[in-house]
Amino acid sequence: KNEVEQSPQNLTAQEGEFITINCSYSVGISALHWLQQHPGGGIVSLFMLSSGKKKHGRLIATINIQEKHSSLHITASHPRDSAVYICGVDSNYQLIWGAGTKLIIKP
């Protein structure tokens, strides 16, 4: 079983929809990261959080340490949000990454 699991693997939605991507992990962590990778490959760090919630524009990330679960939400989704979203955790000075969620937003 992978230590970091993301769901869904693929998600297609219409522009304007509210999007939720989930990340569950099975190890103790000091922090959790969300990354965005657009087609063409560049990777950008969206959030790093260890508790509670963070918001940046239309993106919101939450984490529940007790349940070992994090969610990434996108409000008022737009085609430019189409990307792969990757969750990763800091555990014992190691970074462990999920396989990613491929999001497609149709106009």
Partner 1 sequence: DAEITQSPRHKITETGRQVTLACHQTWNHNNMFWYRQDLGHGLRLIHYSYGVQDTNKGEVSDGYSVSRSNTEDLPLTLESAASSQTSVYFCASSGDVNTGELFFGEGSRLTVL
The amino acid sitting at 100 is G
Q: Shortest Cβ distance from residue 97 to partner 1 (Å)? A: 4
Q: Shortest Cβ distance from residue 6 to partner 1 (Å)? A: 9
Using an 8 Å Cβ cutoff, are 90 and 3 in contact?
no
Q: DSSP readout, 52-95?
A: EEEEETTEEEEEETTTTEEEEEESS--GGG-EEEEEEEEETTEE
Structural Rg of the chain based on CA atoms: 13
How many other C-beta atoms are found inside a 10 Å radius of the C-beta of residue 34?
A: 24
Q: Does 59 bind partner 1 (CB under 8 A)?
A: no
Applying CB under 8 A, what is the total number of residues that bind partner 1? Answer: 22
**Out of 27, 44, 76, 104, which residue is the one contacting partner 1 (CB under 8 A)?**
44
Q: Does 4 bind partner 1 (CB under 8 A)?
A: yes
Q: Shortest Cβ distance from residue 93 to partner 1 (Å)? A: 5
**Out of 50, 51, 64, 75, which residue is the one contacting partner 1 (CB under 8 A)?**
50
Interatomic CA distance for residues 92 and 84, integer angstroms: 26
Interacting residue ranges for partner 1, rule: CB under 8 A: 4, 30-31, 33, 35, 41-45, 48, 50, 86, 88, 90, 93-95, 97-100
